[in-house]
A and B are shown apart, each in its own frame.
Chain A
Amino acid sequence: MGTLSERILGGSAGDFVDRKVDRAYVHDGTGVLTLMALREMGAHVVTPARFHVIFDHIVPANTSLTADLQSELRTFAQEQGMCFSDVGNGICHQLMGEGEVLPGEVVAGADSHTCTLGAFGAFATGMGATDLAGIWASGATWFRVPETIAIRLHGELTGAAEPKDVALQYVSLLGMEGATYRAIEFIGTGAATIPMHGRLTLCNMAVESGAKTGMFFADAVTTAYLRGFGKFADMQETEPCTYEREISIDLGAVRPLVAVPPRVDTVKNAAALAGTAIDQVFVGTCTNGRFEDLARFAHIVKGKQVKVRTIVVPASRTVLERLEREGHLGTIIRSGCVIGPAGCGPCLGAHMGVIGKGEVCLSTANRNFSNRMGVGGAIYLSSVATAAVSALNGEITEPEADDVR
């Protein structure tokens, strides 16, 4: 009996527990520090097959320094026999969500958006590089079993609203620190209506409210998705448990929303911001760079031309290949967009698509902190549909049901 976190971690909220980590991963940004810490510890990697090293943040390398750091980490990962994924394969959270992480697992990632994988009913949380070095060295780490906030979903999304709009809505309801130290569980009849890609979007943004992780119960949707990757998993049954707090969202009432810079919890109706000038649109990231996202984007821009520079970055090579196979890639290219290599793209403001001083970007990412995508630039966050119609109009525009049909 307990919340999903309590059941997976094996303790009651507030307990400190030591747990074996089923899967741990670092990326090119955090992996270098992890390797440094491991060497300083004088330790070695215990179970390389459970650890992934994924190059996604600055890919391909932009400077000699980045290239040297990547080369050192690449060599190490390969020598150790860790699961290594090189540039262009995709974002760590996406790759771990393509049949790697399974329900009930304990997952640690050296990146704050590791919470994305809670969508499978795993306990997945972000940590720092030194924590990951400790996991490489021992295969385990300590956790404080979190209290849980339940987000009860009712009804079904309508019109042009997407799971991303639900994510912006709950982050604004909770506030940027409303769930600090807590886990979020998405429950209720509405949860079953959200497809896997949408669950990943919802869990991805849990950390924007401070949460340790966001989780869905593994159900028929989860197991069907995993079967597509050749993995079999059991469903998770709900049990009576104590939530610290419960908020409820009527999916049928969710409208397209936009987070206004520089806070992700300052959220307005897209309609209220209509006409806001933008310099760049960015569609992609671990929040919204999945196949269904980019296919929806392609559907909206098909046969039209974007009015502002628009960068589209698939979350993984698998996404890119499927877009190509199903004809969406050509549609996106012909509409005037720039396609970036699968990975984080300009999300962290280090590489390819950085914005200039005074420039405004409308992005499908999860963070709009000051200067994140470039010094002096401002970031609005929205769904894919809002980004697509805004790209076509050159200004923030609310998508209509007809746009997405």
Chain B
Amino acid sequence: MYAEGKAVCIGSDIDTDLIIAGRYLRTKDRSLWAEHVFEDLDPALRKRLNGAVIVAGKNMGCGSSREQAVIALKEAGVKAVIAPSFARIFFRNAINIGLPVLEAEVACDEGMIVQFDIDAGWVESHGVRFAIRPLSPRMRSILHAGGLVPYWRARQ
């Protein structure tokens, strides 16, 4: 699974409340979450997310189990999220909705091109290649299917 995108750098310990605030959760309208993504962190971020690769600091996505956080990122056009460590529910949620999450230590430069290949297990920027912590075969299959829903449908 090769892809690339422009880096958007964000800090460490970005919690799910900062990704999508609790006040926007009560709806089924996925575009609303994308519209308000990162609103309490930096409202200007949203415009840069289409086609972007988010490069975050440690403990990305900590806090609540709200799946709206990963959906908001995906709906906003984010191609992947890279961080040295993720909160585990966020990580699982991302895979379940088909948003690639890569555990790797990457120095972030706003706007740099980030390339990655999940199956091959690397991410590259400025010509430097970093190893990503491998996913389990199950997680890879779910990601390949585009998330747990299509994965499930395909196996019926």
Q: How far is the CA of A127 from the CA of B95 in the complex (A)?
A: 12
The contact size tier of chain A is 35 or more
Near B by CB (< 8 A), chain A positions 23-46 give 29-30, 32-33, 36-37, 40-43
Cβ of A37 and Cβ of B138 under 8 Å apart?
Answer: no
The interface bits of chain A over 80-110 (1 if a CB of B lies within 8 angstroms of the residue's CB, else 0) are: 0000000000000000000000000000001
**By CB atoms of chain A within 10 A, which of B18, B63, B153 has the most?**
B63
Instruction: Choose among A110, A111, A128, A372 the residue that contacts B17 (Cβ–Cβ < 8 A).
Output: A372
The residue on A at minimum CB distance from B149 is: A40
Cβ of B26 and Cβ of A65 under 8 Å apart?
Answer: yes
Instruction: Choose among A210, A350, A369 the residue that contacts B25 (Cβ–Cβ < 8 A).
Output: A350
Whether A365 sits at the interface, judged by CB under 8 Å, is no
Cβ of A177 and Cβ of B148 under 8 Å apart?
Answer: no
Q: How far is the CA of A43 from the CA of B153 in the complex (A)?
A: 8
Cβ of B153 and Cβ of A375 under 8 Å apart?
Answer: no
Q: How far is the CA of A370 from the CA of B11 in the complex (A)?
A: 15
Segment touching B, from A131-139, A194-202, A305-313, A397-405: A131-139
Whether A243 sits at the interface, judged by CB under 8 Å, is no
In the assembled complex, how far is the CB of residue B17 from the closest CB belonging to chain A, in whole angstroms?
A: 5
Task: Give the interface of A toward B (CB within 8 A).
Answer: 16, 29-30, 32-33, 36-37, 40-43, 58, 63, 65-66, 69, 110-112, 126-131, 133-134, 137, 142, 144, 176-177, 180-181, 210, 212, 263, 348-350, 367, 369-372, 375
Query: 16 pairs across A/B with beta carbons < 8 Å?
Result: A29-B26, A43-B152, A65-B27, A112-B64, A127-B92, A128-B92, A130-B148, A131-B96, A133-B149, A134-B96, A212-B88, A367-B17, A367-B63, A369-B15, A369-B18, A372-B17
8 tightest CB-CB pairs across the interface, nearest first? A177-B59, A128-B93, A128-B67, A130-B96, A112-B65, A41-B152, A129-B67, A348-B22
